[in-house]
Amino acid sequence: MVVGDFPIETDTLVIGSGPGGYVAAIRAAQLGQKVTVVEKGAIGGVCLNVGCIPSKALIEAGHRFHNAQHSENIGITAENVKIDFSKVQAWKESVVNKLTGGVSGLLKGNNIEVVAGEAYFVDANNVRVMTENSAQTYTFKHAIIATGSTPVEIPAFKYSKRVINSTGALALEEVPSSMVVIGGGVIGVELGSAYANMGTKLTILEGSDDIFSGAYEKQMTTLVKKNLKSKGVEVVTKALAKGVEETENGVIVTYEVKGEEKKIEADYLLVTVGRRPNTSDIGLEQVGINLTDRGLIETDQQGRTNIPNIFAIGDVVSGPQLAHKASYEGKIAAEAIAGHPSEIDYLGIPAVVFSEPELATVGFTEAQAKEAGIEAIGSKFPYGANGRALSLNATDGFVKLVTRKEDGLVIGAQIAGANASDIIAELGLAIEAGMTAEDIAMTIHAHPSLGEITMEAAEVALGTPIHIIK
């Protein structure tokens, strides 16, 4: 007992209610545990409130506006197309509210106690939950840390009214006439593209050789850069951002490329150079939880830290910062606490960019397979040879299967094209289920559909393509 109050007891305490935390809490409750969730902000965390969900709503609004203006090639011309951005923002918020309200209902329906406040570990079985006006101790048998991450702030680019992070970009009250983005990663390209579709003159400054820092194959990023260029977006790679000067109505950004210093003016500067884990100021040192040099919590294959009854999931542990990764890890941790033999296996975890065209990858690339000593074959089928893609006027892209040469086992896939974010699920399932290219090719896919491209890529892998010349 901690002096000063009477602790409230719970079986499993979850710190954070994002896509990792709330999923972990619900799974733990399903397994018979008494669960308490501590949340210092809004239910749903970054993803639902200022991340995945609102950004996709903004991206969709941008798509619709751009398509309304640029569909002449299919015989549709619209005049005086306008954006009421206040209504766009109101619609975006309505999407967020529906989902966060839904999560609150799910937590309540599973008899999970939700406590508002900041959690601080006192020891391995107690946390202090504090608000401005009160403090309460909670005693737990197990805890799951799901505190997420925060945008990195560069000292030379302090956030302000005109120098913004992704949260600020989602909350703008106007469509900027111009914007500079530092960081050509997923967030920078997605949000930048949304505003470019609404008419913003966009410049992306990326420090590495390519956008997405080489995380996606060149043949995929080339399609995205081609699309950005068609919208008047300037992408500057190998660019070193050096500083920013704020003016009355905007910013002047200084950067260096090929040894030459340049300046560019814009209404806003969006800084998207990564996110840092929220592992400070929660008392981890009080418990002796091991951290990496990057501030990530060290865990085993079940999400367990070096303190056996404390687990960690999502952005605070190693691996890609993906909402679905956090949800997956949350289920594993909850099941491990219940004594199940569940373990984490990331091979079938997809990654998606909601760019134009969309990009998606799962499992091995050809290069990664080679590095792992696997003799593999890459087999591609183009969107341009698919009837549904033609009817959607979305012919840029391809589906590529990576199969093991000896037996055709599907070990990876990459997709660039419309609805890649949806199509990749079938290939993730193929990897998880140990399917071969023949299994996919023999599965009847509806016609006409984009899903057929997966079947056709499998036929390429078998050497029996129907709709392209072998």
- Coil, helix or strand at residue 171: coil
pLDDT, position 318: 97
* 45 and 13 in a common domain: yes
State the CB neighbour count (10 A cutoff) for residue 317: 25
Return the DSSP state at 327: H
- Answer yes or no: is 342 within a domain: no
* 228 and 166 in a common domain: yes
The DSSP string of 278-310 is --SSS-HHHHT--B-TTSPBP--TTSB-SSTTE
What average pLDDT does the segment 257-276 reach? 97
* Residue after which a domain boundary falls, among 231, 252, 273: 273
Is 186 annotated as a binding-site member?
yes
Is 274 annotated as a binding-site member?
yes
pLDDT, position 331: 98
The residue range of the domain holding 205 is 155-273
Is 281 annotated as a binding-site member?
no
- Answer yes or no: is 57 within a domain: yes
* 161 and 142 in a common domain: no
In what side-by-side order are the strands of the sheet with 268-271?
Answer: 163-164, 268-271, 178-182, 201-205, 234-236
What average pLDDT does the segment 388-408 reach? 98
* 142 and 53 in a common domain: yes
pLDDT, position 2: 44
Is 188 annotated as a binding-site member?
yes
* 243 and 304 in a common domain: no
The predicted-structure confidence for 23-38, as pLDDT tens digits, reads as follows 999 999 999 999 999 9
Residue 398's CATH number: 3.30.390.30
pLDDT, position 115: 98
Taking 60 as the threshold, does the pLDDT of residue 19 lie above it? yes
- Answer yes or no: is 204 within a domain: yes
The predicted-structure confidence for 224-238, as pLDDT tens digits, reads as follows 999 999 999 999 999
Catalytic site includes residue 447: yes
Is 183 annotated as a binding-site member?
yes
- Answer yes or no: is 385 within a domain: yes
| CB of 266 closer than 8 Å to CB of 250 | yes
Is 160 annotated as a binding-site member?
no
Is 209 annotated as a binding-site member?
no
Taking 60 as the threshold, does the pLDDT of residue 3 lie above it? no
The predicted-structure confidence for 456-470, as pLDDT tens digits, reads as follows 999 999 999 999 998
Taking 90 as the threshold, does the pLDDT of residue 162 lie above it? yes
Is 267 annotated as a binding-site member?
no
Which token pair is 322? 């993906």
User: What phi and psi, each to the nearest 5 degrees, are found at residue 225?
Assistant: -65, -35
* 83 and 44 in a common domain: yes
Percent of the chain with pLDDT over 70: 99
Return the DSSP state at 3: T
The predicted-structure confidence for 71-104, as pLDDT tens digits, reads as follows 999 999 999 999 999 999 999 999 999 999 999 9
Taking 70 as the threshold, does the pLDDT of residue 240 lie above it? yes
The predicted-structure confidence for 334-355, as pLDDT tens digits, reads as follows 999 999 999 999 999 999 999 9
- Answer yes or no: is 470 within a domain: no
Burial class, 260, CB count within 10 angstroms (exposed 0-12 / middle 13-18 / buried 19+): exposed
Confidence category of residue 451, pLDDT binned at 50, 70, 90: very high
- Answer yes or no: is 344 within a domain: no
Burial class, 76, CB count within 10 angstroms (exposed 0-12 / middle 13-18 / buried 19+): exposed
User: For residues 157 and 452, what is the distance between their CA atoms, to the nearest angstrom?
Assistant: 47
Return the DSSP state at 141: E
In what side-by-side order are the strands of the sheet with 260-266?
Answer: 239-246, 251-257, 260-266
* 144 and 43 in a common domain: yes
Element (H, E) at 414: strand 410-416
Which token pair is 43? 């239910």
pLDDT, position 1: 39
* Residue after which a domain boundary falls, among 253, 273, 293: 273
Percent of the chain with pLDDT over 90: 97
- Answer yes or no: is 173 within a domain: yes
Is 147 annotated as a binding-site member?
yes
* 268 and 293 in a common domain: no
Taking 50 as the threshold, does the pLDDT of residue 4 lie above it? no
Mean pLDDT (the chain) is: 97
User: For residues 61 and 91, what is the distance between their CA atoms, to the nearest angstrom?
Assistant: 10
Taking 70 as the threshold, does the pLDDT of residue 412 lie above it? yes
* 268 and 172 in a common domain: yes
Residue 114's CATH number: 3.50.50.60
* 172 and 306 in a common domain: no
Is 363 annotated as a binding-site member?
no
pLDDT, position 470: 81
What average pLDDT does the segment 306-323 reach? 97
Catalytic residue chosen out of the listed positions 63, 66, 447, 467: 447
State the CB neighbour count (10 A cutoff) for residue 63: 16
User: For residues 383 and 199, what is the distance between their CA atoms, to the nearest angstrom?
Assistant: 28
How many domains does the chain fold into? 3
Is 44 annotated as a binding-site member?
no
* 170 and 98 in a common domain: no
